[in-house]
């Protein structure tokens, strides 16, 4: 059957823009909840309180500054990277402009929950568009590549540093910060797989069935064991040689016995 075509660029652009706008809106919802922000937004809010600039404008300035850090890290931005710098900040200010402060705990908790889930949806949309990572994601991957540290360790170091700096500047750290840190990974993974436009299959437009749970996983522990031990010995190293049999088919000659290959 013919292979399905990749997602057209116009649709990917729409998905990118929708995702970035929703990302900014999710930030505004979490700000209005007053229960804690994502790590980078803690820093953004702290800077906004000291400079008097709107939070969205700080998001744009900080994104541009982080993007400049890509230069020594030799990271290449995409169209989505530049769009991320601008649109997220604009959407954040627009959301804060239409959403008044909330004081009761129940609606604040609802805003926090909706903001976290919406952030996961937004991440899936703009990352799934495949048009370039956000500036902060590129900083993480660039530092990991230059230092040789794992992505997990690099991200943890960055997150801890920006939360600490933001808290010292007066940014809001609370239960929402912890809940966001615990939930955003699974949420982002779930929605990225749903909105990924960069994969297309060759089964006529239908997703290939998932592999059974007992199927060999080349990315599992066996692969790591093979990497440590190196490739296994070849037939000659084991004293095995090929010779022609009477039927013309190759046979494996093993010291002490002879058998036909399966």
pLDDT digits (tens, 9 = 90+) for 137-161: 899 989 998 999 988 899 889 999 9
pLDDT number for residue 6: 79
Q: What is the 3-state secondary structure (H, E, C) of the chain?
A: CCCCCCCCHHHHHHHHHHHHHHHHHHHHHHHHHCCCCCHHHHHHHHHHHHHCCCHHHHHHHHHHHHHHCHHHHCCCCCHHHHHHHHHHHHHHHHHHHHCCCCCCHHHHHHHHHHHHHHHHHHHHHHHHCCCCCCHHHHHHHHHHHHHCCCHHHHHHHHHHHHHHHHHHCCCCCCHHHHHHHHHHHHHHHHHHHHHCCCCCCCCCCCCCCCCCCCCCCCCCHHHHHHHHHCCCCCCHHHCCEEEECCCCCEEEEECCEEECCC
Position 122 pLDDT exceeds 50: yes
pLDDT number for residue 3: 52
Q: Residue ranges per domain, the chain?
A: 9-195, 234-262
Between residues 260 and 51, which one has the greater pLDDT? 51
């Amino acid at each position: 059957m013919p292979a399905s075509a990749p997602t057209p660029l116009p649709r990917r652009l729409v998905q990118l823009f929708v995702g970035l706008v929703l990302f900014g809106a999710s930030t505004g919802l979490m700000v209005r909840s007053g229960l804690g922000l994502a790590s980078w937004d803690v820093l953004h809010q702290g800077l906004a309180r000291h400079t008097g600039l709107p939070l969205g404008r700080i998001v744009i300035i900080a994104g541009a500054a982080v993007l400049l850090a890509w230069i020594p890290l030799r990271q290449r931005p995409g169209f989505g990277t530049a769009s991320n710098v601008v649109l997220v900040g604009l959407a954040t200010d627009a959301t804060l402009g239409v959403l008044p402060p909330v004081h009761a705990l129940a609606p604040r908790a609802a805003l926090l929950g909706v903001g976290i889930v919406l952030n996961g949806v937004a991440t899936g949309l703009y990352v799934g568009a495949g048009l370039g990572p956000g500036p902060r994601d590129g900083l993480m991957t660039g530092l990991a590549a230059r230092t040789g540290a794992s992505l997990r360790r690099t991200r943890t170091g960055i997150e801890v540093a920006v939360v600490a700096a933001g808290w010292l500047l007066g940014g809001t750290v609370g239960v929402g910060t912890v809940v966001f840190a615990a939930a955003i990974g699974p949420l982002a993974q779930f929605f990225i797989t749903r909105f990924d436009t960069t994969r297309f299959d060759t089964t006529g437009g239908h997703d290939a069935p998932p592999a059974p749970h007992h199927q060999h996983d080349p990315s599992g522990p066996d692969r790591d064991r093979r990497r440590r031990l190196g490739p296994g010995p070849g037939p000659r190293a084991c004293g095995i040689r090929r010779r022609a049999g009477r039927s013309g088919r190759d046979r494996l000659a093993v010291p002490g016995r002879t058998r036909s290959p399966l």
